[in-house]
Structures are given as structure tokens and as C-alpha cells.
Amino acid sequence: MTGSVTLVEVGPRDGLQACKHPIATAARIGLIERLRKAGVKRMEVGSFVSPKHVPRMADTGEVMDAVGSRAEPGDMVLIANARGLEQVIAHGARTIAVFTAASDAFAQKNIGCTIAASLERFAPLVETARAAGVAVRGYISTITDCPYSGEVAPEAVVPVARSLMEMGCGEISLGETLGRATPCRIAAVIEAVAAHVPIEALAAHFHDTYGMGVANVWEAVRLGVRTVDAAVGGLGGCPFAPGATGNVASEDIVYLLHGQGIETGIDLDGLLDAAAYCGDTMGIAPVSRVFKARRG
């Protein structure tokens, strides 16, 4: 296969949001700088959510100011409510993400409301953001499995994706939050959603709990998805998804894609330096296969 895939580095947000110990703001900034040096052009630098729910992201404003997010259209920040939108606009974000789920039980735990209520809450926020020239991504979590209510049918993902597109999200990131699915289930979701939403607008966001992340990303790319989320070092997880581990590792995905003849514009060694930095400065050891093979 030829062509290119855009990697969206989610390590500084998804990778660190559930960390058990505090992380110095300077270390988060240092990580983002190293990722940029490795050639990462799109990155989720943090979130403006309740610090009671997610204390690790409380310094996102400071991080954004330090890394110059105001001038970086590729920097993205997650928000959950109007207060988050005010904060993110004040710090000059050019791209934001709103997030809901394909399972009501997960939406309730994660953002304190049903899917329908979350869509109602987000619609005016998306409108305000777009009027201010801010691009919006919509996340859908639990596309195959919910930690609270079990398997999720592909048909449950479709109306959520359609609603997010209709309200003005330019991109839909499909979150396999638990990292349990195998490629045939991923294919079923992508095919169902792509019948209603242009495949160019879809991103693959897969966690790697069962080691299926690389296979699932390849399945998504094979089907035509050209935007892939991943976290350096395989860091992370959602605080509201018990038992789930980190995102598929950025270095594993870059190794996969380059080996398959697909360009990412990212330097693998630079990524490994960023992964090593997490171990050295934050005490978070990289778990990726490629890191272990090259630096372990």
C-alpha cells in the first residue's frame, strides 16, 4: 500500500489523564516539545474538564500557553461543557474535541449524562466554536464494548456519528475504549459508519488492552481510514473505563505504517526519545513492543 496517514498523538492528554501520581507541568511541556521535534503535526495537548474528575489535566491552560498552541492549528484540546469552551477559547485553541459515547452507561459515568443529553449540550458549543474559527472533532467512545453494559452493536454508533457530523464536527474519532475488539468487529463499525459519514472524516482511536491495537489500526487503514490516534509509549487510559490500558503506541503504529510503505512524516527515533523521556521524567515506563525492541 502507498500514500500517507496522519497520526494524531494523544499521549499528552489520553496518555497522562489517568496517571496515578502528579506530573510536573514542565514535564508535560517537555513531552509535547519532544513530540513536535519528532515531526508530530497533530496532537491532543490536554483537556478542560472538571479537575475533580480528572486532576491531571488541571494545568492544561499553562501547558497550551507554554507550547504555543495559539499558533498551532494541529493542537487539540478536549472539552465537556460551556465552561471548558470558554477556557479553551481564552487560551487560543484552534481545534477542540467534544466527546460522547455509543453507550448510555459509559456516557453517564464519563460526562454525567445520556448520549442524547450530551449531543444537546454539545450542539451550541460546536456552533460557538465554529463561529470563532475553531475546528471541532467529535469522539465516540465504546464503539464495540462498554465496561458497564457489555457489547455495543455497530448500529448504535451510526446515529451518534451522524448527529456529531450534522452539528458541525469536521472529524469523528471512533474510540475502542476498552481495547478488547478484534479486526472483524472494528471493520463492522467502520463499514456501518462509513455508509453515512465520509470515510475521510473518520479517525481510529484504539486502546490496546488485549494487544489488538496494531491489528485493528491496520484493518481501519485497509478500509480507507487515514487518521489514526495513538499515544507515545502506549501510555494512558480513561479513568472511567476500568480494566482498560493505554492507547495503541505511536511508535508501534509508525513502525507498522512505514513498513507497509505508508508515510507519516514522523521520525521513529524521535518518538522513541519522547517515550524514553516519559520514563525518565514522569516515571511512566513505555510499554510498546517497538520501544522494548529498540531501547529496552
Q: Name the residue with the smallest CB distance to Mg ion.
A: 14
Q: Is 238 a catalytic residue?
A: yes
Name the active-site residue from 19, 146, 169, 238. 238
Q: Is 9 in the site for Mg ion (CB under 5 A)?
A: no
Binder of residue 49, out of Mg ion, ligand HMG, none (CB less than 5 to 8 A by kind): ligand HMG
Q: How many residues contact Mg ion, by CB under 5 A?
A: 1
Which region, judged by CB under 5 A, interacts with Mg ion, from 12-20, 42-50, 65-73, 156-164? 12-20
- Cell, residue 149: 453494559
The minimum distance between CB 137 and Mg ion, in angstroms, equals: 12
Query: Which residues contact ligand HMG by CB under 6 A?
Result: 14, 17, 47-54, 78, 80-81, 83-84, 99, 110-112, 139, 141, 175, 177, 205, 207, 238, 240
Least distance from ligand HMG to the Cβ atom of residue 147, Å:
11
Name the one range near Mg ion by CB under 5 A: 10-18, 101-109, 118-126, 156-164: 10-18
Those residues whose C-beta lies under 8 Å from the C-beta of residue 227, and which sit 6 or more positions away, are 5, 6, 8, 171, 173, 202, 203, 204
Sign (positive or negative) of CA dihedral 167, 169, 174, 178:
negative
CB of 47 to ligand HMG, least distance (A): 5
Binding marks (x or -) toward Mg ion, 17..36, rule CB under 5 A? --------------------
Identify the residue among 14, 104, 145, 208 touching Mg ion (CB under 5 A).
Answer: 14
Nearer to Mg ion, 18 or 120 (CB): 18
Which residues contribute to the site for Mg ion (CB under 5 A)? 14
Task: Give catalytic residues, as residue numbers.
Answer: 238
